[in-house]
């Protein structure tokens, strides 16, 4: 059995855990060309979680974001940071 990816597990929880409200969470990720090279998306925009990344609704399209581009995952209601990349500082 392969190693579990904590980011994959966390994003799957946002999608499937009935006790969590996905809209309360924001995912900040590296997006070349965006202001400051960062974009953010609410957890409710997640369409599918894959082995190495996730898909979000972006207008009438879907967009794939690899896990290595995630900078931070935060609960915007409580301010709790669930994940922060050690390679990138906000």
* Between 4 and 3, the higher pLDDT residue: 4
Phi and psi at 72, nearest 5°, equal -160, 145
Q: What is the extent of the structural domain holding 29?
A: 6-84
Give 50-64 pLDDT, tens digit per residue.
999 999 998 899 999
Output the CA–CA distances (angstroms, integers) from residue 50 to 25, 35, 53, in the order listed.
Answer: 19, 27, 5
The tokens describing 76, both together, are 């915007």
CATH number, domain at 25? 2.30.30.220
Give 29-85 pLDDT, tens digit per residue.
999 999 999 999 999 999 999 999 999 998 899 999 999 999 999 999 999 999 999
Whether residue 53 lies inside any domain: the answer is: yes
């Amino acid at each position: 059995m392969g190693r579990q990816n904590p980011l994959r597990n966390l994003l799957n929880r946002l999608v499937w855990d009935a006790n969590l409200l996905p809209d309360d969470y924001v995912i900040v990720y590296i997006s070349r060309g965006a202001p400051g090279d960062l974009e953010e998306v609410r957890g409710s925009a997640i369409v599918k979680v894959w082995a190495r990344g996730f898909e979000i609704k972006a207008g009438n399209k879907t967009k794939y974001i690899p896990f290595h581009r995630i900078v931070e995952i935060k609960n915007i209601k409580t301010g709790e940071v669930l994940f922060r990349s050690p390679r990138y500082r906000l």
